[in-house]
Structure 1
């Protein structure tokens, strides 16, 4: 059966893809550079090609399964890192099409590329430790025990992956040990990158664990369950946040204008990044925290094998992709560990 023959929501207004793309491009063009516009046309062209193959003529019938099929189809054509970048434009278009009542709200968050292998991300994407401290100081003072505060603490102190953060439940807290327990639960749609081999306990210092507990007990935190009846640690009004929502939240919390002046001289009222965090040139995602956290552990003379176990990364990958210390910093660590006669 062609995809377009499936049931449509009574709340949606029919809209063909060609018209939808034209509307989106006209809407976005005034704020885009020519190169950005040209890239968008190319990326949406791939989307159009797949639509024709899938025999979809109306956006109303588009659902998460179709988007998964599109990702699988495109995955056979490009490298994973390229695919992740290319999906940003159709995801942005899907959000715009919600305003035209052409697709269901939340559909954009279902457009996901496969998780990249360790180290496949751009190697220079990291967040400075001084910047993380400013973020934590800001939240300690003004937004204590908020969702962003809890996320920043977990990502910075543990160096865990986004998928690990997504997998956490309230029941995974171990107050007596000030620890978080990571479990691979594919039967209920939460995964660890290395499956059962990624399961572990991760310790937090008492003062940081207290922030997580205070977040759980905060009246501002939605007390909800996911569709499997589990109690997610990080929540939204709709339940467990999608991994892309976690990325979006991380983008928001790392925008410099959230906690200080803009380093590139932009005025928040005139900056597109104020309303769309993806457009902030200084934003950082969860993986930037992971790389920074691993390097910070090493700067403070934590044994590499301990960092390897704590962050669930092989030593080979750790040194090749995650250690962003300068040569001087590496020397300082070695110096502190040398015997007196050296």
Structure 2
């Protein structure tokens, strides 16, 4: 430990970092940074990992950071899968930024962040292949339409699929953001009341809905399944729970729940005995190897719109994603799908 450093606990360093960044990061990104740094702090303070408890950030060095990376890559905490290359890059990238900020208060040496090297990714490793295909999405929506019609979970999944919005965008919707006459949803950035959009005011947009989609939302609003509640800021959420606006965790669980094949009456592809499968429990649905969170739902939605012939710029505006990012990270079409998209633009006489 250098004599020039000022002692500080890992928790206090994290508090400083989150406070310093609360205005320049979106709520989702800030939560992601908190989660990654808390994982590192948990490792530092656990006597079962590394060299024992580390209660002062002054003691963190490159050797310790490398040991943490090996732990995350090879073991990870109980219940968590070992990190792949992409996840590891995100973990290390966040830690580097964390070290840069707390170096300003002499918690770690100034040069520490620069000496932490990011994992190198092979070509294609930075692109997620997890996507909900349109056939599965439509099967889920057909089931919800029949058995869970106009419930909060039905409407949430319907909006995610039909608008390609992010989880945060769904949460941000108020009752007044649904335009009945124009059949549209208006996504607005309201960070002061806990519903900021990922891209701030640039992410604000109005998204049109097909009549049948708007009809479900209308019946939800007027029907018995929508709770007449307000959030802690006095706003009326469009999609509600008994406690008000659904949390990000709640929406993720809804996605995991309904993307399990067994949830919509399909046979388990693994042939599991449903009486013994832990993933049949509501809170354990993410453990189903075939369930997905909201991000693959968004990716699948974007791919489905592109396959249906929607121009890239239209999908880009509708889903609040740049065309470059859309092409790289969200549009998971195969080479054959891309060929079919291009066919209609090839003249017959060439």
TM bucket normalised to smaller: 0.5 to 0.7
Alignment map for 1:140-219 (pairs within 5 Å): 140-219=145-224
Q: Does 1:302 align with 2:307?
A: no
**TM-score (norm. length: structure 2):** 0.66
| C-alpha deviation, 1:211, in angstroms | 0.9
Contact 1:43 1:89 in 2 (8 A): no
Contact 1:183 1:192 in 2 (8 A): yes
Q: Root-mean-square deviation (CA), in Å?
A: 3.5
Aligned to 1:284: 292
2:268 aligns with one of 262, 268, 281 = 262
Q: Does 1:317 align with 2:325?
A: yes
| C-alpha deviation, 1:338, in angstroms | 2.3
Q: Does 1:222 align with 2:201?
A: no
Distance in 2, matches of 1:176 and 1:328, equals 40
Distance in 2, matches of 1:200 and 1:333, equals 26
Distance in 1, matches of 2:272 and 2:127, equals 25
Q: Which runs of 5+ in 2 are unaligned?
A: 1-8, 12-38, 57-66, 81-93, 95-123
| C-alpha deviation, 1:48, in angstroms | 3.9
**TM-score (norm. length: structure 1):** 0.67
Distance in 2, matches of 1:298 and 1:238, equals 37
Distance in 1, matches of 2:127 and 2:339, equals 25
| C-alpha deviation, 1:234, in angstroms | 1.4
Distance in 1, matches of 2:133 and 2:55, equals 45
Q: Structure 1 pair 122/325, CA: closer, same or farther in 2 (3 Å)? A: closer
Q: Which runs of 5+ in 1 are unaligned?
A: 5-40, 55-76, 91-112, 114-118
| C-alpha deviation, 1:237, in angstroms | 0.9
Q: Does 1:133 align with 2:141?
A: no
Alignment map for 1:30-45 (pairs within 5 Å): 45=43
| C-alpha deviation, 1:158, in angstroms | 0.8
Structure whose alpha-carbon radius of gyration is higher? 2
Aligned to 1:329: 337
**Structure 1 runs (4+) greater than 3 angstroms displaced:** 41-54, 86-90, 119-122
